[in-house]
A and B are shown apart, each in its own frame.
Chain A
Amino acid sequence: MTKQSSCKGNCRCYTAETGPMVPRPFKVVEIWKELADTFSMRLEPLDGCPAFFAPGQFNMLYVFGVGEVPISVSGDAAQSGEILHTTRIVGNVTKAMSAFKPGMTVGLRGPFGTRWPLDVADGKDLVFVAGGIGLAPLRPAIYQAFADRHRYGNIVILVGARTPEDMLYAKELARWKSRFDLDVQVTVDHATGNWQGRVGFVTKLIASGGFDPKNTVAYTCGPEIMMRTTIKALNDRGVTNDHIYVSMERSMKCAVGFCGHCQWGPEFICRDGPVYRFDQIAKSFNIEEL
């Protein structure tokens, strides 16, 4: 991991004069469709300052005349100088962003938030459990695990999608599946077309996953209901809450703890999260509409 990625926004790109609410200009280098409602884009800074992030962190992406949204970073943190985002179209800003062309300018503030801590998993098995677009924020952590493959025991990657057409990074998953040093399992909630793979919730894959529950760190991201069942399944296998990391999502307008929108009990998810060790937030997780 680069030294810079420990930065939480205090690099020289944020000055006392501009403050943390002014975006930096980034160029859209490349943009492509991933799924019917999901696209990726590769960004490069236009201001001469470096671009960096740690796995699990997010940026605020700004579209001129439309608005700003928090989007997790999905690329490889070791690839310095470029930032890759995978985004699902869910509102005005993400829709406008999907129409970007290479060469256009996007505003970027970040990186913000906590990281997926892989250093706590030295010598242990790694389990990544992703639901739908939840694979996007997990991918940088998976890349990091690949880069330091020798540091870990088994690596298990479990991915669930609603249908085969919603399977994010399908080609890459197929490549990963062909490796001998990984256990990659995918499943869909509803089989469509000529799908011959597994059908069922991703949490079902946990029971048979090839990892040692007593010596495992699990990282999960997806809809809250999916993370809830994932945690239950992990607990049932014997993985304790202090070995499970989740990534939370809430409304965010500022990402720096001013706007209040992402509050969740005492947490500002923008600042204290989005990645949490589950035992530290288990109480809040079980309270409805907190």
Chain B
Amino acid sequence: MTQSQKSVQQALPEGTVVRVGPDGLEALVALLKQVGYTTIGPTVKDDAVVYQEINTTKDFPIGWADDQDGGTYRLVQGTKGAFFDYLVGPTSPKRYFFPPQNKLWGASKEQGHFEVEKPAEEAPSYAFIGVRSCELRAIIVQDRVFGFAREDQHDKGIFSDPYYVERRKKSLIIAVNCRRAGKTCFCVSMGGDPHVRHGEGFDLALTEIMEGSQHHFLIEVGSERGGLILALLPFEAAKDQDLVARKTQAEKARGQMGRTMVADVNPLLKNNLTHSRWEDVASRCLSCANCTMVCPTCFCSNVEERTDLTGDHTERWRTWDSCFSIDYSYIHGGPIRKETKSRYRQWMTHKLSSWWDQFGLSGCVGCGRCITWCPVGIDITQEAAAIKKSEECQT
């Protein structure tokens, strides 16, 4: 097929499922790069699977899986040749839409006056490959925080962050269904699923199927843009047995959830803001902020002034911040949340309870990162369960 013939090809309709081999996935990565995307995907770095720019499927964590539990993460040998046997690592697509630090604007001074220079940098077009279902839902959560597609709501006091919105608008998301769930996974009890659902914002969704010597991928179309891209690739129609295998895989992963969040955690925490459990968890919590750094929905930031040595040029930078830092709540006279128990309570009640009031959904997607990466293995599901249990004892 010639280039011109390809360009007139129609988009595959949403919901179409096709089948490709590993070489088909390679062709997809090459195509994405060819049409100008910066391809971001999973790769092994520093003994963990992280998101990073990738150039080929060979960069994927091929054959690697991970063993995660409270306070522990280890890469282990997974299914030989599998691309997506690992689960979520410490990073998420968040760091590309809302980077750990980004310049808001700069300014130069002249005789008591200054001129603001807006950043001229053009937003990159990212294509993410390997985004998990929980990460998709985390993106939906941050879309609400940063006002993506909510420009119409400005008069209600909702603002949009142009930095986030530009990157988000231009990005393409290729999700991957989880083949298994880990010991710290609890997406199902947070209303999610290890397999992606339509309406969750993916352009294409992959399912990796390995049976005997067979290794192939199902690709499902989730958007018009995804359908256009897929139409440019060679593929076969999905077979009935593929769809059965995909369904079996989803059921298996659903049954493997290592953790469960108690039901009705939002009102539970609202009713227990002065519970003794906060003291208990504070005796273990190091207030290190790891949970907030790995969380795919945490959005708190600081704004820093960075001035050069002449004092004539300055830049305003937004950096990730954490409600676990004592400075976070500082106003003249001292910090508001002096105690670790107050800071842990802020984090957990925000995530599971007040997020509903603020944004109409849960701030937790059940990815389990905060459990895995907590150096002392504090488990948000156990903390919630402990409060629930004490309530049941009282009644």
A residues contacting B by CB (< 8 A) are: 8-10, 14, 16-23, 25, 64-68, 90-91, 101, 103-105, 107, 249-251, 253-254, 256-261, 263, 265-266, 268, 271-272, 287-290
CB within 8 Å for A64 and B342 given contacts A10-B155, A23-B116, A271-B157:
no
B302 adjacent to A253 (CB under 8 Å): yes
Option from A21, A66, A91 in Cβ contact (under 8 Å) with B104 = A21
Option from A21, A66, A90, A268 in Cβ contact (under 8 Å) with B332 = A90
| A258, B358: Cα distance in complex, Å | 12
B residues contacting A by CB (< 8 A) are: 104-105, 107, 109, 112-114, 116, 118, 145-146, 151, 154-163, 273-274, 299-303, 305, 307, 311, 314, 316, 318, 321, 323, 328-333, 336-339, 342, 346, 349-350, 353-354, 357-358
CB within 8 Å for A105 and B114 given contacts A258-B161, A287-B273:
yes
A250 adjacent to B342 (CB under 8 Å): no
Q: List 5 A-B contacts (CB under 8 A).
A: A64-B107, A64-B109, A259-B302, A287-B273, A289-B336
| A67, B303: Cα distance in complex, Å | 9
Collect the chain A residues with CB atoms within 8 Å of residue B158's CB. Answer: 257
Option from B116, B159, B300, B331 in Cβ contact (under 8 Å) with A20 = B159
B154 adjacent to A67 (CB under 8 Å): no
A67 adjacent to B321 (CB under 8 Å): no
Option from A8, A16, A22, A67 in Cβ contact (under 8 Å) with B155 = A8
| A268, B151: Cα distance in complex, Å | 19
Closest CB in chain A relative to B140 CB, distance in Å? 17
Most buried by B among A10, A25, A260, A289: A260
B112 adjacent to A18 (CB under 8 Å): no
Option from B113, B155, B328 in Cβ contact (under 8 Å) with A105 = B113
Collect the chain B residues with CB atoms within 8 Å of residue A265's CB. Answer: 349, 354
* Nearest opposing residue in chain B for A288, CB measure: B342
CB within 8 Å for A254 and B342 given contacts A17-B162, A64-B107:
no
Option from A23, A103, A253, A257 in Cβ contact (under 8 Å) with B159 = A257
Q: Which 5 A-B pairs have the closest CB atoms?
A: A266-B357, A260-B300, A90-B332, A289-B342, A19-B162
Closest CB in chain B relative to A87 CB, distance in Å? 11
| A22, B300: Cα distance in complex, Å | 18
Closest CB in chain B relative to A194 CB, distance in Å? 30
Option from B112, B159, B163 in Cβ contact (under 8 Å) with A256 = B159
B358 adjacent to A266 (CB under 8 Å): yes
| A251, B328: Cα distance in complex, Å | 8
Known: A257-B145, A289-B339. 4 other contacts (CB 8 A): A10-B155, A258-B145, A258-B301, A271-B157
Collect the chain B residues with CB atoms within 8 Å of residue A10's CB. Answer: 154-155
Collect the chain A residues with CB atoms within 8 Å of residue B357's CB. Answer: 266
A290 adjacent to B342 (CB under 8 Å): yes
* Nearest opposing residue in chain A for B354, CB measure: A266
| A159, B303: Cα distance in complex, Å | 35
| A263, B179: Cα distance in complex, Å | 38
A103 adjacent to B112 (CB under 8 Å): yes
A249 adjacent to B331 (CB under 8 Å): yes
A251 adjacent to B146 (CB under 8 Å): no
B116 adjacent to A107 (CB under 8 Å): yes
A22 adjacent to B112 (CB under 8 Å): no
| A8, B154: Cα distance in complex, Å | 8
* Nearest opposing residue in chain A for B274, CB measure: A287
| A271, B342: Cα distance in complex, Å | 22
Collect the chain B residues with CB atoms within 8 Å of residue A66's CB. Answer: 305
Collect the chain A residues with CB atoms within 8 Å of residue B107's CB. Answer: 64
Collect the chain B residues with CB atoms within 8 Å of residue A14's CB. Answer: 154
| A258, B160: Cα distance in complex, Å | 9
Closest CB in chain A relative to B147 CB, distance in Å? 8
Collect the chain A residues with CB atoms within 8 Å of residue B305's CB. Answer: 65-67
* Nearest opposing residue in chain B for A17, CB measure: B162
Collect the chain A residues with CB atoms within 8 Å of residue B302's CB. Answer: 253, 259, 261
Closest CB in chain A relative to B121 CB, distance in Å? 13
* Nearest opposing residue in chain A for B305, CB measure: A67
A21 adjacent to B331 (CB under 8 Å): no
